[in-house]
Amino acid sequence: MAQGGGDHRGPLGAGGPPGQAGTGGAHHRVHQQVAQTHPGFPEGGAHAGPGEHPEGVQGDGGCLHAGEPVPVSPLADGRRRGPLVPGREAGPGCGRHPHPSEPPLGRASGGFQRLHRHLSGQGIPDQVRAAPAPAHGAGLGPGCWRVGAGEGGHRRERGRPGGRAAGVWAVCGGFPGPHRGGPDHRQGRELGDGQAVIPRRVHLVGIGGAGLSGIARILRARGHEVSGSDQADSSALRELEAEGVRVFRGHAASQVGDADLVLISSAIPQDNPEVAEARRRGVPVVKRSEVLGDLIGPRRTVAVAGTHGKTTTTALIALTLVEAGWDPSFLVGGVVRGLETNARAGQGEHFVIEADEYDRMFLALRPQVAVVTHLEWDHPDCYRSPEAMAGAFREFVARVPEEGCFVACVDHEGVRGLLEARAGGIALGQGVPLREARTVPYGLGPLAALRAEEVVATEEGSQFTASWMGEPVGRFEVHVPGRHNVANALAAVAVAGRLGVPWEAVRRALARFRGVARRCELLGVAQDVVVVDDYAHHPTEITATLEAVRQAYPGRKVWAVFQPHTFSRLAALAAEFAVSLAGADAVVVLPVFPAREQGDPVAAAQGLAREIRGREVAFALSVVAASLYQKERVRPGEAVVTLSAGDGNRVGRLLLAGLGAAGEVR
């Protein structure tokens, strides 16, 4: 391995002789690398595309070894904020919602100060109230869209009071859900006309993704004719195909067929041939947020939001309601182990949904119960600043009706700042039972009203006692490692208590839970090498995952194989990524997974590899190169963790195959 900060050699197999200098010295910073290769950045040079790199490599697995990098010099506020693309203050679909001017993300607001006074016995003023949600009249109200086709193709008009115009298909952003004792305002449906909003034949572009695959399952279960396409084959496509969904690999105009509606994910570009063909024919093309209202319908919505932890928490809540026999509908951003699906169209009155903040999707919901697990800046391509992201979360929380409930993890400063946005205020009142609380501040810290205490790590996870206002609720066990998963389980306890789920059903559900696919998931073991996969693509998630792996497999050397996800996130959080990855004993960095962005995946990721201090670090040109490198370097008794929201998890599967894993490899 090369030593010193300035002797970084280029990847073997990349066209240069061994020992030839790589792209730039150690003094280059990640945001500079991105600026040089990402079109539109202030320091931008000529655009270098993603490039073609050979899957087969020679010599040392196609890896660049990084020596001791020079120290990172963060900005005065402790955070490096890389440049965003000028003129792109918001990502696809984000421009519809203004960026509010808000206090900095994470600052404790007056709402939290009042909560602190309450928990200290000083009480909370009754007049603490947020602005009420706007009332909706008949027909298409505020927040809804008319979608139709004129001579120019696809058009949208703001919804106006009154009935639906002839030949116009309506897509609603969501009305308030039904309340006991209140009017039945159906969420996303016009009452009285007897017509469903979502037409019979629906084609989904990007159907293999976590969001659209679940929507496809629910639509099919409700009798819709569903088809879809995705760029490449995957297990998700094969599973949908086995369930009777017509699936295409690759994109072509002819695949739109006779669809009445084309539904797309945020990652689909506007020049996609199926999108272009649908618009040519006058077929409406919409994003998932625009159909969520009707998908949920009259059901009572439990929506789980948060920068981290929302997938696991959504899965825990869904499993809890299933265990109680309530037959909920649910839509989760990953396959729930034990239920072996990411979505279900149940017959019960509740709909549990993962509320994605990207593209401001969650602002299409009107939840009766809203959970926020965490809040810190992410998605810089959509939110230009931490303040903009905090503002969107405030809007989300304000959509909860006064008689609903806001479940907030007050361990995190960003979430504490949301408490004032709660409609109806945060007043708990001394002696208010959990079943009647309008706000449930939960967590492991002293500020939580619903608190996890006496936490004990076990071989499979953790045990904890939940207490409400100092009174024990019960003892629970969850079989996924990490303190962050104790908090996720506690959120499920909070929702279950608020809804009135029997505690014994909650205990059974938490004990039964075995995680979500790609969330600290054990892929397999070969030659005493443990391989774990996680969807982590943010520094905080990486830190939590590495801590959980060390808890589950104590004493093992931990390898982190990291695939950065998007250039904008890497540029904005470069210093944080370097620190979080140093939590592993050794690190392998892959090229950036660009998703919806343009840039040079190799140069940007190499810059990150140079920033990681005090650890054995290598850069691999490809998934295959990384797996070959790992096969040569990893030893029995060690653990390998793949950290990727793209296809970096293939490294783990290839490694297990190379080590001769016996039995099933997930």
pLDDT tens digits along 81-125: 332 222 333 333 343 333 333 333 333 333 333 333 333 333 322
482 within domain boundaries: yes
What was the pLDDT predicted at 430? 55
Query: Of the ranges 104-113, 208-217, 308-317, 550-559, which one carries the lowest mean pLDDT score?
Result: 104-113
* Per-residue tokens: 553: 């497999």
Pairing of strands 616-620, 63-66: antiparallel
Query: Of the ranges 81-90, 192-201, 338-347, which one carries the lowest mean pLDDT score?
Result: 81-90
What's the pLDDT band for 506 if we cut at 50, 70, 90? very high
**Backbone phi and psi for residue 463, each to the nearest 5 degrees, phi listed first:** -115, 145
Q: Mean pLDDT, the chain, as a whole number? A: 71
What was the pLDDT predicted at 600? 76
Same domain, 376 and 437: yes
103 within domain boundaries: no
Same domain, 528 and 558: yes
CA distance 236 to 210: 8
- pLDDT tens sequence across 344-362: 999 999 999 999 888 788 8
Amino acid making up residue 569: R
CA distance 583 to 536: 14
- What is the percent of the chain where pLDDT is above 90? 31
Average pLDDT over residues 73-88: 30
Q: What domain count does the chain have?
A: 3
* Per-residue tokens: 502: 């029997």
User: Under a CB-based contact definition with an 8 Å cutoff, are residues 579 and 540 in contact?
Assistant: no
86 within domain boundaries: no
What was the pLDDT predicted at 245? 94
What's the pLDDT band for 237 if we cut at 50, 70, 90? very high
CA distance 633 to 643: 18
CA distance 12 to 53: 11
- pLDDT tens sequence across 508-531: 999 988 777 677 788 888 888 989
Same domain, 302 and 221: no
- Which residue among 247, 276, 292 closes a domain? 292
Q: If residue 526 lies in a helix (H) or strand (E), which one and from where to where? A: strand 521-526
Average pLDDT over residues 177-205: 50
Pairing of strands 350-354, 471-478: unpaired
Whether the model pTM is above 0.75: no
CA-wise closest residue to 400 among 374, 426, 375, 378: 426
Between residues 262 and 578, the one the model is more confident about: 262
Q: What angle, 0 to 180 degrees and rounded to 10, lies between the N-to-C axes of helices 650-658 and 623-633?
A: 40
Same domain, 284 and 234: yes
- Which residue among 257, 292, 327 closes a domain? 292
Of 121-135, 242-256, 386-400, 423-437, highest mean pLDDT: 242-256
Q: What is the CATH number of the domain that holds 61?
A: 3.90.190.20
Domain that holds residue 501: 293-512
End-to-end, the C-alpha distance of the chain in Å comes to: 33
CA-wise closest residue to 14 among 626, 624, 620: 620
What's the pLDDT band for 184 if we cut at 50, 70, 90? very low
What's the pLDDT band for 377 if we cut at 50, 70, 90? confident
pLDDT at 485 over 80: yes
390 within domain boundaries: yes
636 within domain boundaries: yes
Cα 417 to Cα 99, 100, 226, 299, 527: the distances in Å are 17, 15, 42, 29, 48
CA distance 466 to 493: 8
* Per-residue tokens: 327: 């037959």
CA-wise closest residue to 30 among 630, 581, 583: 581
Same domain, 220 and 327: no
Active site residue ranges:
310-311, 354
Same domain, 347 and 462: yes
97 within domain boundaries: no
603 within domain boundaries: yes
Between residues 124 and 577, the one the model is more confident about: 577
20 within domain boundaries: no
Pairing of strands 246-249, 225-230: parallel
CA distance 330 to 351: 5
Q: What is the CATH number of the domain that holds 476?
A: 3.40.1190.10
User: Under a CB-based contact definition with an 8 Å cutoff, are residues 482 and 551 in contact?
Assistant: yes
pLDDT at 236 over 60: yes
Q: What pairs with residue 304 in β-bridges? A: 354, 371
Amino acid making up residue 278: A
What was the pLDDT predicted at 661? 66
Between residues 486 and 481, the one the model is more confident about: 486
Pairing of strands 169-172, 246-249: unpaired
User: If DSSP codes are grouped into helix, strand and coil, which group holds residue 467?
Assistant: strand
Between residues 471 and 426, the one the model is more confident about: 471
- pLDDT tens sequence across 408-438: 999 988 888 888 766 444 445 456 888 888 9
What's the pLDDT band for 36 if we cut at 50, 70, 90? very low
Same domain, 267 and 372: no
What was the pLDDT predicted at 424? 46
Same domain, 276 and 300: no
Query: Of the ranges 126-135, 227-236, 594-603, 623-632, which one carries the lowest mean pLDDT score?
Result: 126-135
DSSP string covering 603-658: HHHHHHHHH--SSEEEEESSHHHHHHHHHHH--TT-EEEEEESSSTTHHHHHHHHH
What's the pLDDT band for 491 if we cut at 50, 70, 90? very high
Between residues 386 and 80, the one the model is more confident about: 386
User: Under a CB-based contact definition with an 8 Å cutoff, are residues 172 and 293 in contact?
Assistant: yes
User: Under a CB-based contact definition with an 8 Å cutoff, are residues 172 and 144 in contact?
Assistant: yes
What residues have CB less than 8 Å from 552, skipping those under 6 apart? 460, 481, 520
pLDDT at 55 over 80: no
What is the length of the chain? 666
Instruction: Quickly count: other Cβ atoms within 10 Å of residue 433's Cβ.
Output: 11
- Which residue among 266, 292, 318 closes a domain? 292
CA distance 71 to 581: 15
Place of tokens 């995957």: 234
Same domain, 227 and 326: no
Of 26-35, 100-109, 153-162, 471-480, highest mean pLDDT: 471-480
Average pLDDT over residues 188-207: 65
Same domain, 352 and 264: no
Average pLDDT over residues 51-61: 31
User: Under a CB-based contact definition with an 8 Å cutoff, are residues 321 and 350 in contact?
Assistant: yes
Same domain, 285 and 366: no
- What is the percent of the chain where pLDDT is above 70? 67
User: Under a CB-based contact definition with an 8 Å cutoff, are residues 529 and 634 in contact?
Assistant: yes
pLDDT at 576 over 50: yes
Place of tokens 């008949």: 138
**SS3 of the chain: helix, strand, coil, percent, to 5:** 30, 20, 50
Same domain, 183 and 63: no
CA-wise closest residue to 203 among 156, 128, 149, 268: 268
pLDDT at 232 over 50: yes
- pLDDT tens sequence across 361-375: 888 899 999 999 998
CA-wise closest residue to 248 among 262, 228, 234, 264: 228
Q: What is the CATH number of the domain that holds 221?
A: 3.40.50.720
Average pLDDT over residues 164-169: 28
